[in-house]
Chain A
Amino acid sequence: MRLLRIGSAVLTRCRTTLHPARKYATERNLQRTCLYDFHVSQGAKMVPFAGWEMPVQYKTSISEEHFQVRNSVGIFDVSHMLQSHVSGADRCAMMESLVVGDIAGLKDNTGTLTVFTQYRGGILDDLIVTSTDQGYLYVVSNAGCIDKDWTNMVEAENIFRDAHRDVKLERNMNALIAVQGPLMTKALQPLVNFDLSKLPFMTSTLGSVAGVQNCRVSRCGYTGEDGVEISVPQGDIVNVLEKLLASKDADVKMIGLGARDSLRLEAGLCLYGNDIDETTTPVEASLTWVVGKARRQKADFPGAEIIVEQIKSKPTRRRVGFLSTGPPARGGAVIYDSNGVKVIGKITSGCPSPTLKQNVAMGYVKKDFAKNGTNVKIEIRKKLHDAQVAKMPFVPTNYYIPK
Chain B
Amino acid sequence: MAATMLVRLAKQTSRVTALALRQQTFVASCLQPFSSSRLLANKVFTEKHEWIELSDGGNVGTVGISDHAQESLGEIVYVQLPEIGTEVEKDGEAGCVESVKAASDIYSPAAGKIVGVNEALSDKPELINKSPLSDGWIFKVEVADLSELNNLMDESAYRKFLETEE
Tell me the interface secondary structure of chain A in the complex: loop
The answer to the question of A326 belonging to the interface, with a C-beta cut-off of 8 Å to chain B, is: yes
Interface residue from A66, A258, A327 paired with B78 (Cβ < 8 Å): A327
Q: How distant is A256 from chain B, measured CB to nearest CB, in Å?
A: 10
The answer to the question of A9 belonging to the interface, with a C-beta cut-off of 8 Å to chain B, is: yes
Contacting pair A16 B102 (CB below 8 A)? yes
Contacting pair B105 A2 (CB below 8 A)? yes
The answer to the question of A351 belonging to the interface, with a C-beta cut-off of 8 Å to chain B, is: yes
Interface residue from A2, A7, A66 paired with B100 (Cβ < 8 Å): A66
Q: Tell me the residues in window 96-118 of chain B with beta carbons closer than 8 Å to chain A beta carbons.
A: 96-107
Q: How far is the CA of A140 from the CA of B158 in the complex (A)?
A: 46
The answer to the question of B90 belonging to the interface, with a C-beta cut-off of 8 Å to chain A, is: no
Contacting pair A1 B98 (CB below 8 A)? no
Interface residue from A15, A57, A63 paired with B102 (Cβ < 8 Å): A15
The answer to the question of A306 belonging to the interface, with a C-beta cut-off of 8 Å to chain B, is: no
Contacting pair B102 A262 (CB below 8 A)? no
The answer to the question of B50 belonging to the interface, with a C-beta cut-off of 8 Å to chain A, is: yes
Q: How distant is B54 from chain A, measured CB to nearest CB, in Å?
A: 19
Q: How far is the CA of A56 from the CA of B78 in the complex (A)?
A: 21
From B17-25, B29-37, B66-74, B145-153, give the one contacting chain A.
B66-74
Q: How far is the CA of A328 from the CA of B104 in the complex (A)?
A: 12
The answer to the question of B49 belonging to the interface, with a C-beta cut-off of 8 Å to chain A, is: yes
The answer to the question of B144 belonging to the interface, with a C-beta cut-off of 8 Å to chain A, is: no
The answer to the question of A13 belonging to the interface, with a C-beta cut-off of 8 Å to chain B, is: yes
Output the residue of A12, A13, A57, A66 with the most chain B CB within 10 A.
A12
Q: Tell me the residues in window 54-79 of chain A with beta carbons closer than 8 Å to chain B beta carbons.
A: 56-57, 61-63, 66
Contacting pair B72 A13 (CB below 8 A)? no
The answer to the question of A226 belonging to the interface, with a C-beta cut-off of 8 Å to chain B, is: no
Q: How far is the CA of A315 from the CA of B100 in the complex (A)?
A: 32
Contacting pair A61 B74 (CB below 8 A)? yes
Q: How far is the CA of A68 from the CA of B104 in the complex (A)?
A: 25
- Known A-B contacts A61-B75, A326-B78, A328-B78; the reply to A1 vs B102 at CB < 8 A is no
Q: How far is the CA of A217 from the CA of B142 in the complex (A)?
A: 62
Q: How distant is B77 from chain A, measured CB to nearest CB, in Å?
A: 4
Contacting pair A1 B74 (CB below 8 A)? no
Interface residue from B77, B78, B104 paired with A1 (Cβ < 8 Å): B104
Q: How distant is B166 from chain A, measured CB to nearest CB, in Å?
A: 9
Interface residues on B, range: 20 to 34
Contacting pair A14 B72 (CB below 8 A)? no
The answer to the question of B124 belonging to the interface, with a C-beta cut-off of 8 Å to chain A, is: no
The answer to the question of B80 belonging to the interface, with a C-beta cut-off of 8 Å to chain A, is: yes
Contacting pair A63 B100 (CB below 8 A)? yes
Q: How far is the CA of A56 from the CA of B102 in the complex (A)?
A: 12
The answer to the question of B88 belonging to the interface, with a C-beta cut-off of 8 Å to chain A, is: no
The answer to the question of B65 belonging to the interface, with a C-beta cut-off of 8 Å to chain A, is: yes
Contacting pair B72 A11 (CB below 8 A)? yes
Q: Tell me the residues in window 27-49 of chain B with beta carbons closer than 8 Å to chain A beta carbons.
A: 48-49
In the complex, what residues of A have CB within 8 A of residue B102's CB? 7, 10-16, 330
In the complex, what residues of B have CB within 8 A of residue A12's CB? 72-73, 99, 101-102, 104
In the complex, what residues of B have CB within 8 A of residue A261's CB? 101
Contacting pair A381 B48 (CB below 8 A)? no
Q: How far is the CA of A328 from the CA of B101 in the complex (A)?
A: 10
Q: How distant is B162 from chain A, measured CB to nearest CB, in Å?
A: 10
- Known A-B contacts A1-B50, A3-B69, A12-B73; the reply to A62 vs B106 at CB < 8 A is no
Q: How far is the CA of A1 from the CA of B77 in the complex (A)?
A: 16
Contacting pair A328 B77 (CB below 8 A)? yes
Contacting pair B49 A328 (CB below 8 A)? no
Output the residue of B48, B73, B103 with the most chain A CB within 10 A.
B103
Q: How far is the CA of A386 from the CA of B72 in the complex (A)?
A: 29
- Known A-B contacts A1-B50, A1-B65, A11-B73; the reply to A258 vs B100 at CB < 8 A is yes
In the complex, what residues of B have CB within 8 A of residue A101's CB? none
Interface residues of A (CB under 8 A from B): 1-3, 7, 9-16, 56-57, 61-63, 66, 258, 261-262, 326-328, 330, 351-352, 354, 381
Can you give 27 contacting A-B residue pairs, CB < 8 Å?
A1-B65, A1-B104, A2-B49, A2-B104, A2-B105, A3-B48, A3-B49, A3-B69, A11-B73, A11-B74, A11-B101, A12-B72, A12-B99, A16-B103, A61-B75, A62-B99, A258-B100, A258-B101, A262-B100, A327-B78, A327-B80, A327-B98, A328-B77, A328-B78, A351-B100, A351-B101, A352-B99
* Given A1-B105, A11-B102, A258-B101, 15 additional A-B pairs, CB 8 A: A1-B50, A1-B107, A7-B102, A12-B102, A12-B104, A14-B102, A62-B100, A63-B75, A262-B100, A327-B96, A328-B77, A328-B78, A330-B103, A354-B100, A381-B80
Sorted from nearest, which 5 A-B pairs have the closest CB atoms?
A12-B104, A352-B77, A14-B102, A1-B49, A61-B74
